[in-house]
Structure 1
Amino acid sequence: MAHLSFLFLTLLGHIASTVYAAPITSRAGTTATTPVSISAADVSSKFGRAAEFSRVSYCSSAAVTSWKCGPPCDSLGKGIEVIQAGGDDGLVPMYFVAHDPVTQSIVVAHQGTEPSNILSILNDAQFLLTGLNSTRFPAAKDGSIKVHSGFQKTFERTADGVLAGVQKALKATNVKKVVVTGHSLGAAIATMDAVMLKQALGSSVSVTTTVFGLPRGGNQAWADFVDAALGSTLTRISNQNDPVPTVPPRFIGFQHPQGEVHIKAVDAKGAATDVVVCAGQENENCSEGNSVLKTSIPNHLGPYFDNISFGGASCPL
C-alpha cells in the first residue's frame, strides 16, 4: 500500500507517546483551544477551486497541457492557460503552472503520492531531518531549520522550473496573485514552493497556499519559518481520520505550521458537514488528536468536500 511508511511512523508515534506517558497538552507547540466552525459554503468558496486544481495535478502532462483531462478539467471551466507542465509520475511527481482567468491568478499545482508508483513511495520514506537549503533559503544559514529529507529532494527537482514558470506567467499575464496547491506529497512540495515564491517574488505579488492531507515537513524551526513567511495565507486541510497529517511523528522532531482546517464529517454525497478552523500549530482537537486505532487511508484520498477526491482514479486521463 502506498502509505505503509506513513502508517508505520504513525504507529511509532503512538507507541512513543504511550511509553513516555507525556500528556499531549504538555508538549511545546500543542494547543487545546476549541476549534471554530466554518460553513460548508465558506469551505467551497475559499478552498474549492484550489482543490479542483490539485485534483487535476494527478492527470498526465499531455492531458493537462491540452486541458482535456475529463471531469477534473471540465469542473474548472474553459480559458485555463497551462504555462508549464512536467514530471514523470515517479521521482519527479507531476506538476503544472497555469493562468486561471476566473481568479486572475497563476496557479502552481503538485501531484501527491500515487499508490501504483514505488518511486513516489520512496520519496515519502526518506523521512530523516536534514538542513534546509541555505543557498535557496538564506534564513536557514545558521543550520537550525531542518526539513524532511525526501520532501526537500523532491522539491529541488522542480523548484527552478516552477520559479521560472511562475515568473514567466506573471510577466505574460500581468496578474499579481499566485495560488499554490497540492495533495499529500504534493502538499509538502507546495508548501516549500510557497515559501520560495514568497521570498523571490516580492511584496507586489500575493501568494496564497491551500494544501490537502499535508504530512509534517520539518522541525519546530521549519514550522515557525513557514508561519513567519506565509502567515494566514497558508491553509492546510485535513480530512477526518487521515493518518498522513500525523506523520512523521513529533517525537522524532517534526512539527506542523499553523493554518489547519479540519473536516470532521462528510456525508454520503461527498459534502463536508462539519468543518472547523484549528488554532495553533498542533491542535489536539483536530488531526493531532486522531487515534492510531481509527486511521483511514480512504480519508486521505477523499472526498474532502464538494465530492472532491484525489489520486489517479479521480483523474483517469
Structure 2
Amino acid sequence: MFSGDMAGRWRELHGSEHWDGMLDPLDVDLRRCLIAYGEMIMATYEAFIGESRSPNAGLCRYPRADLFRRVDLSHPGWYAATRYIYATASAEVHGKVLLRPLCRQGCGRECNWMGYVAVATDEGAAALGRRDIVVAWRGTQRALEWVADLKLTLASAAGILGPEGADGSDPSVHRGYLSLYTSADEGSKLSKQSARMQVLTEVARLMDKYKDEETSITVVGHSLGATLATLNAVDIVANAYNKSPDSDSRVPVTATVFGSPRTGDRDFRDVFHRLPSLRMLRVRNRPDRIPHYPPVGYADVGVELLIDTRRSPFLKPHGNESQSHDLECHLHGIAGWQGDHRGFELVVDRDVALVNKFDDCLADEYPVPVGWKVHNNKNMVKGPDGRWVLEDHDPDYDEEEEGDNL
C-alpha cells in the first residue's frame, strides 16, 4: 500500500505543515499512508483472541516474530514487532464493582494484549526513507475495557504531561482511558509494568539503538485505541522520549487515529497543540457517533480528516453504529472519498470485500459473506485421539516468558 514518492514526502505526509492543502482533495500518497497504518491497527484485531471460552482469551494468537506474516499487511516485511503491550483493566466505577469477571488473575481486574511496538526493518527503512517506530493500539474488545469506557469523569493528566503541563492550568483526561494507560498489576507478569511504561521503555530502547539514523515515531489506534494513542503520543513528546540520550534534537511524533472518542478537556488540547514536534491526524466518519463522546467537558484534538462512507456505492445504507465505526469501513472511505461536493471513486484500489471482514457493511448485491474473516474451524483441531480441542494460541509462544523480560 505504501508507494509513490512517500519516502521523499514522509515529513509532509506526517504533518510537518499540518496537512495544509492535502485533505480536500485528499492527497493520494496520504491515502496510501493512512491505509497502511490502518492495516497495522487491524493486525491487533485479527491476532486478538476474543473467544470468551478460551483459556487464552485476551491474548495474542502469534509470537512477535510471526505477527506480520500471519495478518493482512500490504508489506509484511517492512516492519518487525519488537514488544507486545499489555494493559490492566479494572471492574470498578466510582468504587463499585460492575463486573466480577472470571479473569486469569481471579480478581476484579484482568490483563489483556492491547497492541505492540514495531520498528521498520532495513527493507522497510529503505522504502520509507527513515527508521519508523510504530506503536499500535487496538479498540475495545473485552468486558472490562467497556467498563473503562464508562469512567467518564476527568482526571488530572499531570503525570503524563511532565513539565509541559506546568503552565498554571490543570489539563485533565478521561479517567477510564488514563487508568488503562497507567495502571499496573503486581500480581501479573504481563502487566507488572503499566502499558505506559512498557511502551516508553521500548521507545527509549529503539531511539538509542537507531540514534545515528533518521527516525520517526508514529502512534496509531482505532476507537479506544485512538484515545490511548493520543495519551501515548503526547506523553512521548512531553517527557522527551522522542530524543536519544546523547542528543537534544527531537524526532517528529505523529498520531494517526480513526474513530476516536474525545480524550481530554480544553487545557489538555492546548498542551497537545503547543508541543512543537507533535502532530495528530484524526479521521472521522461523519455518521459515526463515537467521536462525539463524551459530549460535555471534552475537546477535540489534532487536525480532523472528515470522510462520509454513506457516499460509497459499495456499502449498504448505514443502519447501525457498528458499520459507521468499523475500521475497515474507514479505510474503504479513505480509499474513495472525494469530498462533500464530489462523488466516490476508489483512487486506491482496495478490495471492497474487506469491509465485510468482521461486520455487515457491503451491499447485498456483492456475494461476500458477513464476518468471513475466521480462523479455520475457529481453531478447533482434531487430535490423534479423534477428539476436537481448541488451539487458538501458538504453542511455541509463552507470554509468561515475555512477562519475565518486562
Calculate the TM-score normalised by the size of structure 1.
0.71
Correspondence list, 1:39-58, <5 A: 39=26, 41-58=28-45
Deviations 1:259-304 (A, max 9, x none): 110112353557xxxxxxxxxxxxxxxxxxxxxx987331111411
The equivalent position to 1:144 in structure 2, one of 170, 178, 181, is 170
Partner of 1:127: 152
Decide whether the 8 Å contact of 2:115 with 2:137 is kept in 1: yes
Deviations 1:96-151 (A, max 9, x none): 0111232330110001112xx21110111111111113465233344521110011
Amino acid at match of 1:49: A
Decide whether the 8 Å contact of 2:137 with 2:222 is kept in 1: yes
> 1:160 aligned to 2:197?
yes
Query: Which runs of 5 or more residues in structure 1 are unaligned?
Result: 1-34, 271-292
Distance (whole Å) between structure 1 residues aligned to residue 41 and residue 180 of structure 2: 17
> 1:100 aligned to 2:96?
no
The equivalent position to 1:204 in structure 2, one of 250, 269, 274, is 250
Identical-residue share of aligned pairs (%): 22
Distance (whole Å) between structure 1 residues aligned to residue 43 and residue 225 of structure 2: 12
Distance (whole Å) between structure 2 residues aligned to residue 111 and residue 219 of structure 1: 23
1:214 Cα deviation after fit: 0.8
Partner of 1:179: 218
Distance (whole Å) between structure 1 residues aligned to residue 171 and residue 253 of structure 2: 22
Which stretch of the first structure deviates more once superposed, 221-230 or 152-161? 221-230
Which stretch of the first structure deviates more once superposed, 142-151 or 166-175? 166-175
CA distance 1:45–1:155, change in 2 (3 Å): same
CA distance 1:71–1:128, change in 2 (3 Å): same
Look up the SS of the partner of 2:158 in the other structure.
coil
Decide whether the 8 Å contact of 1:214 with 1:244 is kept in 2: yes
Count of residues in correspondence between the two structures: 257
CA distance 1:43–1:36, change in 2 (3 Å): closer
Decide whether the 8 Å contact of 2:136 with 2:220 is kept in 1: yes
1:45 Cα deviation after fit: 2.6
Distance (whole Å) between structure 2 residues aligned to residue 268 and residue 105 of structure 1: 35
Correspondence list, 1:1-317, <5 A: 37-39=24-26, 41-58=28-45, 59-60=47-48, 61-63=60-62, 65-68=64-67, 72-87=71-86, 92-101=112-121, 102=124, 103=128, 104-114=131-141, 117-134=142-159, 137-141=162-166, 142=168, 144-156=170-182, 157-174=194-211, 175=213, 176-199=215-238, 200=240, 201-202=242-243, 203-229=249-275, 233-249=279-295, 252-265=296-309, 267-269=312-314, 296-302=321-327, 303-304=329-330, 305=332, 306=350
Look up the SS of the partner of 2:77 in the other structure.
coil
Distance (whole Å) between structure 2 residues aligned to residue 86 and residue 221 of structure 1: 28
1:50 Cα deviation after fit: 1.3
Look up the SS of the partner of 2:275 in the other structure.
helix
Decide whether the 8 Å contact of 1:112 with 1:311 is kept in 2: no
Amino acid at match of 2:66: W
Deviations 1:56-100 (A, max 9, x none): 122243426133466744423224211101326965451101112
Structure showing greater Rg? 2
Decide whether the 8 Å contact of 1:132 with 1:143 is kept in 2: no
Decide whether the 8 Å contact of 2:88 with 2:180 is kept in 1: no
Greater RCO (CA < 8 Å, at least 6 residues apart):
1
Partner of 1:13: none
CA distance 1:191–1:110, change in 2 (3 Å): same
Distance (whole Å) between structure 2 residues aligned to residue 145 and residue 311 of structure 1: 37
Distance (whole Å) between structure 1 residues aligned to residue 30 and residue 63 of structure 2: 25
CA distance 1:72–1:40, change in 2 (3 Å): farther
CA distance 1:206–1:36, change in 2 (3 Å): closer
Decide whether the 8 Å contact of 1:93 with 1:112 is kept in 2: no
Distance (whole Å) between structure 2 residues aligned to residue 315 and residue 222 of structure 1: 38
Amino acid at match of 1:196: D
Calculate the TM-score normalised by the size of structure 2.
0.56
Decide whether the 8 Å contact of 2:83 with 2:202 is kept in 1: yes
CA distance 1:144–1:204, change in 2 (3 Å): closer
